Chains A and B, each alone.
Chain A
Amino acid sequence: MKRNILPLAVPIAALALLSGCAMGGSAPAAVTLDPDAELSGEITVWSWDVAATALDRLGAQFESDHPGTTVNVVDVGYDNAYDKLSVGLQAGSGLPDVVTIETDRAPGYINEFPTGLVDLTPVLGDAEADFDPFKWSAQSDADGALKVAPWDSGTVGLFFRTDYFEEAGVDPASIETWDDLLAAGETIKQATGHTLLSLDVASGGAFQLLLQQQGQGLFDASGDITITSPEAVEALTLLQTMNERGLLKNVKGWDGRVTSAKDGDSAVTPEAVWWIGTLLGDAPELSGRYGVTELPGFDADGARTSNSGGSGLAVPAQAKNPDLAAAFVEYALADTENQVSMMANEGLFPSYLPALADPYFQEPQEYFGGEPVYELFAEQTANIPPITFTTDNAEASDIVANAVVAAVLNGADPATALQDAAEQIATATGREIAE
């Protein structure tokens, strides 16, 4: 038996060497955009889903406005687009001229590949004041260079079942704070038997949404861990109280949330504007039973919105035609008419604030009983509190999600659970806990 091991020793040593070498990738040289460049040639754009449909439409328009240019849009699928993107950035080749990146993924890529994405500031910098401030800061690097152009916003509002509110005699306009909502939830539960809201507790998403509403992320501007702050404890306590009073229905994953909405389990859904698309597509039979109002505040004059999702466009440094790519990004995103057309045709809610003043957003929406619900989201987009992201957000999110489960479902003390989580994050990332 022993003799058989020897022949394996050499290949295994070779393997160890190989896998060690495989990690290196070539970093492309920095690319500086020329805003006045002559536009010609061809670009390829990666996107997914309705976003790809939108860019395909605008691409054809761009071609006819700029003769001699070609825009190829490829639907690379949403689920594994990031595998392609990560490998391409790591390898330093194989990426197209424009890629789509979601807002919560953007900081990771910006920090991980500092030279991987082109600085878009020379082309879009003048329009900074016209964009959703949260998107702009989340998609820029530490030196303020914009790496991912803001596309659509995930402005959050409170979706509510008008029929349940009516039956319980609660006026949605009277809900100003989360305490008001809790009280309303108890009345609704007594009158209709429905819970207040359905939540996938284990994802930790609701907690981060409530945290951002108070202007906080998992880390502060100097990169210290902030989840032991009074605001964080308040957000977690709120979720815990909801569960203790029987107002929370815990569901599993995205499909669980859609099913719960369709079944009408709960009276409200605090979610981003794109939830409208999900309702229209997956629950068309609930037309006329939903309304939207502002998110309840933590105190009377606090922010009445938050952010959930949204995405942007970036130009990889390896792009063959970065100037044309940036020109197309500007054409699609920093333009009122085009942004409004993407809202009207594909349901992508603009991060470009001038577009939100368009009459389209005042139009009554049939699904919502003729209420112009987009107007509310349009008003709130500029109020989304900006927060700081770091490279460790993904890891910290997992640890925080565990703390949320411990407090909300297993009854742990919120302050203690968050303190434990903060210490775990500190150990895992080497960061300090903010005072």
Chain B
Amino acid sequence: MSTTASVAAGMRRGILRAPVYVVLVIASVLAVVPFAWMAIASTHATSDLFGTPLPVLPGGELWVNLARLQESVDFSGVMLNSLVIAVIYTVFSSIVSIMCGYGLATYRFRGRGLLLGLVLVTMMIPMQVLLVPLFQMMASAGWIDTYQAVVLPFLANAFGIFLMRQGFLDFPVSLIEAARIDGANEFRTFYRIVLPVARPQIAALVIYTFISQWNAFIWPLLMLNTEDKYTVPVALNTMIGMSRVDYSGLMLGSLLATLPLMLLFLVFQKQFVSGLLGGAVKG
């Protein structure tokens, strides 16, 4: 009696869950199909992509497309440019975000709320409003077509600061106080005690910061004026022609451009987990 009841209950649960699975399956298909199409399209000639029916299996044009991509936009060169810019930006922007966020969360000083408000308000200024004045500033500094013009204006990232500040709000104050009582100065406390414990949130910040710079398009587009300085998104954009678009090259380029992001995610996922397990406060 009891077994039949539990089987029936199990079935009922299964039936109840069915709609959830249907939704999940649909969502995964929606997420995977564009990516799969990007991979398939990158192995065909562009003219095949306009045919009916659309190709569903990988074709044999991968190396041809790769050679064309390398030749037309110097893909390996622009990948390197993008990496250099993104790494430099991520390192410095993260340092700024972590320190500002820590300061805003743990120190009590006059005007703290106002300062935080100011930081948040910069998030509300639309990019379109900033473009022209920022452009003028960079032009009068003689920085057009340089990497510092790409990196510097956005080094202090309001979202990053806010993200860190929210994270440090929950930081156990007792830990900081303990370090101070033991005679550590402020910098040592920050470096030795706070940073190791904050690893998970820093991993999240690094991933976010890197992706935002890796994908950045409009600002590098405006700043960089010579082909050998282009970043990946700016270079891929030049493959969209007036009356022809090199779709297979674009797809291959976009596919290759996602690889560093995946690598980054894999690396920091580990950090993420070890940070969680490393728990510093006991009892």
**Which of the 9-residue segments B28-36, B122-130, B256-264 touches chain A?**
B122-130
User: Which residue on chain B has the smallest CB distance to residue A22?
Assistant: B133
CA distance A283 to B243 in the complex (A): 13
Docked complex: A11-67 residues within 8 A CB-CB of B:
11-12, 14-15, 18-19, 21-23, 25-26, 44, 46, 48-51
Interface size on B, residues (CB 8 A): 42
Given the interface pairs A51-B242, A91-B136, A262-B51, the reply to whether A7 lies near B225 with Cβ below 8 Å is: no
User: Which residue on chain B has the smallest CB distance to residue A3?
Assistant: B113
Contact A94 B144 (CB under 8 A): yes
Contact B242 A15 (CB under 8 A): no
Contact A91 B243 (CB under 8 A): no
User: Which residue on chain A has the smallest CB distance to residue B240?
Assistant: A79
Q: Is A90 an interface residue (CB 8 A)?
A: yes
Residues of A within 8 A of B120 (CB): 8, 11
* Per-residue contact bits, chain B 85-127, to A (CB 8 Å; 1 contact, 0 not): 0000000000000000000000000000110111011001100
Q: Is B131 an interface residue (CB 8 A)?
A: yes
Interface size on A, residues (CB 8 A): 55
CA distance A316 to B120 in the complex (A): 38
Contact B241 A282 (CB under 8 A): no
Contact A12 B121 (CB under 8 A): yes
CA distance A91 to B139 in the complex (A): 9
**Which of the 9-residue segments A112-120, A136-144, A271-279, A423-431 touches chain B?**
A271-279
A424 CB to closest chain B CB (Å) equals 25
CA distance A262 to B242 in the complex (A): 19
* Per-residue contact bits, chain A 72-100, to B (CB 8 Å; 1 contact, 0 not): 00111111100110011011111010000
Contact A87 B135 (CB under 8 A): yes
Q: Is B251 an interface residue (CB 8 A)?
A: no
Contact B243 A80 (CB under 8 A): no
B172 CB to closest chain A CB (Å) equals 25
Partner of B244, one of A15, A18, A96, A281: A281
Q: Is B187 an interface residue (CB 8 A)?
A: no
| Interface contact tally, CB-CB below 8 A | 129
CA distance A254 to B241 in the complex (A): 12
Contact B221 A49 (CB under 8 A): no
Docked complex: B207-242 residues within 8 A CB-CB of A:
217-218, 221-222, 225-227, 234, 237-242
Contact A83 B135 (CB under 8 A): no
Residues of B within 8 A of A26 (CB): 136
Given the interface pairs A8-B121, A262-B50, A284-B47, the reply to whether A49 lies near B237 with Cβ below 8 Å is: no
Partner of B241, one of A48, A74, A255: A48
Q: Is B201 an interface residue (CB 8 A)?
A: no
CA distance A21 to B129 in the complex (A): 10
CA distance A88 to B237 in the complex (A): 19
| 21 interchain pairs, CB-CB under 8 A | A7-B117, A10-B117, A11-B117, A11-B121, A18-B129, A44-B225, A74-B226, A75-B238, A76-B238, A77-B237, A79-B237, A80-B218, A87-B131, A91-B132, A91-B135, A93-B136, A94-B222, A255-B245, A259-B51, A262-B51, A278-B244
Chain B residues proximal to chain A, CB less than 8 Å: 46-47, 50-52, 113-114, 116-118, 120-121, 124-125, 129-133, 135-136, 138-140, 144, 217-218, 221-222, 225-227, 234, 237-245
Name 13 extra pairs, CB < 8 A, besides A8-B121, A94-B138, A282-B47.
A50-B241, A50-B242, A51-B242, A74-B225, A74-B227, A76-B238, A78-B240, A79-B240, A84-B221, A92-B136, A93-B140, A254-B245, A259-B51
